[in-house]
């Protein structure tokens, strides 16, 4: 479903994004997308999904659902046909045209999310890892992008120690992104200590916002 909608948007994009040879495939996919949209209400009111039926059994007990072409996975096409579509790894056909935007625009659009640390800590929590996972996926989509991983601290530590703590934070983020497949050569790290707070206020909320690693796009 998600895939189809993206292709739909791409189809109707004013920019001639798709090579002509791929047009039939795209149209075919678009057709599936439309059929899936129109079928959705019917599936929702399917009598099989009655209160008497155990929810776990629903998918197996619904042959109609089995037969239904699943747009988000194969879309009913053969593998060869799918491979005919350019892989979504940041070629000029990607919906987000990073080539047309300035670095400033890209950074202000927030494609890469900050992660926020605990007080006096450079540990990555599960939620921070999840955020970094999204960042890594975005970076995989645009392999030409290079980033600066900035480590920042809140104002409560000292100037001197915070410089080292910011370094440790940026390094922890860089290392995790590397584990997720982002090439080391695409990342530089820097510590700004407590010199550049996001929020100048002196309270817990501000401190929390300021204890961060920020991923700045420095090349595309």
Partner 1 sequence: MKSLRLHRLGLALLGAALATGVAAGFVPGTGGGVSLGAAGVLPRTTGGTPVVEVTSLGASRIETASQEAGDWYLDITRPGAPVRIAIPDFQLAPREVPASETGGEGVEAGSAPADPGDASSVAEEAAGAASVASTVLWDDIEYAGVYRMLPKRFYRIAESGSPEGVLDYYQWESIGADILIRGTLRIEGELLVAEVRMHAVRAQENVFGRRYTAARGAARTLAHRIADDILQHAGNYQGVARTRIAFSTSRSGPRSKEIYLMDYDGYGQRPVTANGSLNLTPSWSPDGRALSYISYREGAPALYLAFLYQGRGEKLVGDFQSFTPAWSPDGRWIAFTSNRDGQAEIYLAAVDGSELRRLTDNRAIDVAPTWSPNGRTIAFTSDRTGAPQIYTMDRDGLNLRRVSFEGSYNDSPAWSPSRQHSEIAYASRIERRPFDIVVHDFETRQTRQLTTGRGSNESPSWAPNGLHIAFTSNRAGNDQVFTMHRDGSNLKQLTREGSNTTPRWGTPPGNPQ
Interface positions with partner 1 (CB under 8 A): 120, 156-161, 163-165, 167-168, 171, 188-193, 195-196
32 or 176: CB nearest partner 1? 176
Q: What minimum distance in Å lies between the beta carbon of 194 and partner 1?
A: 10
Query: Three-class SS of residue 60?
Result: coil
In which residue are the tokens 């491979």 written? Answer: 83
19 or 161: CB nearest partner 1? 161
84 or 163: CB nearest partner 1? 163
Torsion angles phi and psi, residue 16, rounded to 5: -70, 85
109 or 120: CB nearest partner 1? 120
User: Residue 142 in contact with residue 220, Cβ under 8 Å?
Assistant: yes
75 or 157: CB nearest partner 1? 157
Q: What minimum distance in Å lies between the beta carbon of 11 and partner 1?
A: 42
Distance CA 76, CA 78 (A): 7
Q: What minimum distance in Å lies between the beta carbon of 163 and partner 1?
A: 4
DSSP assignment of 141-174, as one string? H-TT-EEEEEE---TTS-HHHHHHHHHHHHHHHH
In which residue are the tokens 């008497």 written? Answer: 52
Pairing of the two strands 146-151 and 212-219: antiparallel
Q: What minimum distance in Å lies between the beta carbon of 193 and partner 1?
A: 8
The two structure tokens encoding residue 35: 């059929």
Q: What minimum distance in Å lies between the beta carbon of 171 and partner 1?
A: 7
């Amino acid at each position: 479903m998600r895939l189809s909608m993206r292709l739909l948007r791409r189809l109707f994009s004013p920019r001639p994004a798709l090579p002509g040879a791929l047009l039939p495939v795209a149209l075919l996919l678009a057709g599936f997308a439309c059929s899936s949209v129109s079928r959705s209400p019917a599936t929702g009111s399917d009598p099989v999904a009655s209160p008497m039926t155990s929810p776990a059994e629903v998918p197996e007990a619904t042959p109609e659902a089995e037969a239904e072409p699943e747009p988000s996975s194969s879309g009913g096409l053969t593998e060869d046909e799918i491979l005919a579509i350019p892989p979504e790894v940041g070629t000029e056909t990607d919906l987000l045209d990073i080539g047309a935007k300035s670095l400033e625009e890209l950074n202000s659009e927030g494609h890469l999310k900050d992660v926020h640390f605990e007080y006096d800590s450079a540990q990555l929590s599960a939620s921070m890892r999840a955020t970094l996972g999204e960042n890594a996926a975005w970076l995989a989509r645009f392999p030409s992008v290079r980033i600066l991983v900035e480590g920042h601290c809140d104002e409560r530590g000292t100037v001197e120690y915070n410089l080292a703590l910011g370094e440790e934070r940026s390094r922890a983020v860089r290392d995790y992104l590397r584990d997720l497949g982002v090439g080391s050569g695409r990342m530089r790290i820097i510590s700004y200590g407590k010199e550049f707070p996001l929020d100048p206020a002196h309270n817990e909320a501000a401190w929390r916002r300021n204890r961060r690693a920020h991923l700045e796009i420095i090349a595309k």
